[in-house]
Structure 1
Amino acid sequence: MLFRQLEYLVSLARERHFARAAQSCHVSQPALSEAIRKLEDELDVSLVRRGRTYEGLTPEGERIVMWAQRILADRDALRGEVAALRTGLSGRLRIGAIPTASGAVALLTSPFCAQHPLVTVEVTADLRSEDIVRQLRNFEIDAGVTYLHHLPEGIQAVPLYEERYVLLVDHTTAGSLDLRTEATWAEASQLPLCLLAGQMQGRQVLEAVFAEAGLNPSPRVETDSVAALFAHVRAGQWATIVPYTWLNVFGVPNGMRAVPMAHPSPVAPVGLATLTREPGSAMARALTELADSPDIAAAFRHMSTSTPTGST
């Protein structure tokens, strides 16, 4: 019963709405409300601020939610450990990825699924770096593929690759710039740019490089999706700067040209982040071991250095 009460409380904290929390737990709203009231009675503390609608958790409720998340994660980790000892790893692996790295996640998930056929994988892409850290701490994901700059205490990482960048333009724009084997950031700043949204770390990396070159471009279009960047360039009016890794996923689409960015030639380290806790979940441990293997390191090295078809 206690686990169920904690699950209801965590769901309410996540959904911030009694009806949605009940729906996510597959119970009626009165059943969820009554279970949380019983938990309050057992703990002798008020957890939820109640009015005509949900008004949030009390300070005590916020603290209890943190304990609840940890207790439920430890329960799930224990179940996973026992199942792994019996029949091999099973269950669901949850991975979060920043937009610029979502095209590289398959280099981890494909061999992981081959090694662990009883595991299913859920990948949530287009997350901000801070979202990945938050979801790791809240035990909402098992691992995240994200930038390694400024990872906070309690998060450990396995480096995967260094992100490099290319200017993606249509052939008409490329011809007008007389681009050959590389493009400068000054040239890129003069184009009608479509870039990732300003709050995203991938965009902040680009802003830092532009600033280093003494440039301050003003993109006309911003998005949180790398796929949307490709779509805008295909429309024929825009140019964008994307990670080199995406070209190894899609190649260079017809009608476009990808030119490596130079002067300066920045790189941003990307890796697999997990919580620093022992023993942790068997799922996260297995993924970390895979990411740290020589074969995976070679695959990421090839992805980040090979020349995709159609680029120059």
Structure 2
Amino acid sequence: MDPHLLRTFVAVAGCGSFSTAARQLGYTQSAISQHIAALESDLGTPLLHRRPVGPTEAGERLLDHAAPILLRLDAARADVLRAAAEPPGHLLLDLTPSAMTARIAHALTGIRRSMPGLDVTVRVAGRQAVLTAVATGECSFGLVDGVAAPGDPLHLLDVDTITGVAVAEEHLAVILPDAHPLARRTGLRLDDLLDARWIDAPEVAAPLPDLRTAAQSDNPAASIRYEGTDASALIALVAAGHGLVVLPAPAAAGRPGVRAVPLTTPRLVHRTELLHGRNAGSAATALVTALTSVTAAGTADGA
């Protein structure tokens, strides 16, 4: 299966249009049609309905496989290029909105002091975007957060060219409006909140599918979805009574209109991992050391 044809198929299916996919990929529309015809001939089955444009049942199956296949190809290319050369003096850090903690910011400050000529760029993006950027070599490394049992790794991409290192584990809290009847509790069980109104904020808060898995329930269910990456805006929605979220406990500190009540059951933590390629370079290696050292010091100090 030719990966160029597979990329074309994914683009057409995503755009719902041959002409739009052609503009996106820089091909003529006739070339796009030829790519799809060649892929369908190779697999011996139609992959796209033409009017309107959309995947057939076989095409849906192929889409399920296409993203990880193409990602692994991009990751392999990035791994080879990392081994061949390291861009001098520049470090690009992608991170998820809840990954930047005070400890991590402090570690980054230490790196810049020890390497004064280092040019650093920090970008905030969603979890999938950060994972893909690290795997494909678009960024030097990434910081990704998520929910896990204490000591367990995050369930990330199955790409063996990137490495994940735990740099922080924090307690989780349920964020409630200040006037909520449970806001003065000293702790909350997830089971007691399954029927509450929740905000689905997959890029900032604990993803609802992870909470459902932990609760072994079809709930909690979302009353509203937030697709941004701004934690302040999300907490404002909570304060206005649109629903609850689970965040690392410090996230709501000093925020008006909300209370952070520790999540006591099930036992879950907010875990942050540093992701980097196998040949990450001296700057990224130094940051790994700094991050793990700061985390270890904070743990020893009882932070």
- Same fold at TM > 0.5: yes
TM-score (normalised: structure 2): 0.63
The Cα shift of 1:230 comes to: 0.7
Question: In the alignment, what sits opposite 1:20?
Answer: none
- Percent sequence identity is 20
1:217 aligns with 2:194: no
The aligned length equals 237
Structure 2 vs 1, CA of residues 266 and 191 (structure 1 numbering), >3 Å: closer, same or farther? same
SS of the residue 1:101 aligns to: coil
The Cα shift of 1:190 comes to: 3.3
The Cα shift of 1:68 comes to: 6.3
TM-score (normalised: structure 1): 0.62
Question: In the alignment, what sits opposite 2:28?
Answer: 51
Aligned match for 1:168, one of 172, 175, 200 = 175
> Relative to total residues, which structure has the larger helix share, 1 or 2?
1
SS of the residue 2:274 aligns to: strand
Structure 2 vs 1, CA of residues 71 and 266 (structure 1 numbering), >3 Å: closer, same or farther? closer
Structure 2 vs 1, CA of residues 124 and 143 (structure 1 numbering), >3 Å: closer, same or farther? same
The Cα shift of 1:201 comes to: 7.3
1:139 aligns with 2:137: yes
Aligned match for 1:94, one of 67, 92, 95 = 92
SS of the residue 1:260 aligns to: strand
CA distance in 2, matches of 1:256, 1:165: 15
Structure 2 vs 1, CA of residues 49 and 177 (structure 1 numbering), >3 Å: closer, same or farther? closer
**1:48-86 deviations in whole A, cap 9, x for unaligned?**
984259859x89xx8997776456545651x53xxxxxx
**1:114-153 deviations in whole A, cap 9, x for unaligned?**
222222322222321x433322221111111125323432
The Cα shift of 1:220 comes to: 1.0
**1:79-117 deviations in whole A, cap 9, x for unaligned?**
53xxxxxxxxxx221112233313454243222222222
CA distance in 2, matches of 1:67, 1:154: 7
The Cα shift of 1:198 comes to: 8.8
The Cα shift of 1:260 comes to: 0.4
Q: Which runs of 4+ in 1 moved over 6 A?
A: 62-68, 198-201
1:186 aligns with 2:188: no
- Contact kept in structure 1, 2:172 and 2:246, CA below 8 Å: yes
CA distance in 1, matches of 2:74, 2:177: 51
Q: Please list every run of 5 or more consecutive structure 2 residues that lacks an aligned counterpart in the other structure.
A: 1-7, 12-24, 40-69, 146-152
Question: In the alignment, what sits opposite 1:123?
Answer: 122
The Cα shift of 1:169 comes to: 1.4
**1:7-66 deviations in whole A, cap 9, x for unaligned?**
xxxxxx9xx9xxxxxxxxxxxxxxxxxxxxxxxxxxxxxxx984259859x89xx89977
Aligned match for 2:236, one of 221, 231, 240 = 231
CA distance in 2, matches of 1:215, 1:110: 43
CA distance in 1, matches of 2:244, 2:166: 30
- Contact kept in structure 2, 1:198 and 1:204, CA below 8 Å: no
Structure 2 vs 1, CA of residues 68 and 186 (structure 1 numbering), >3 Å: closer, same or farther? closer
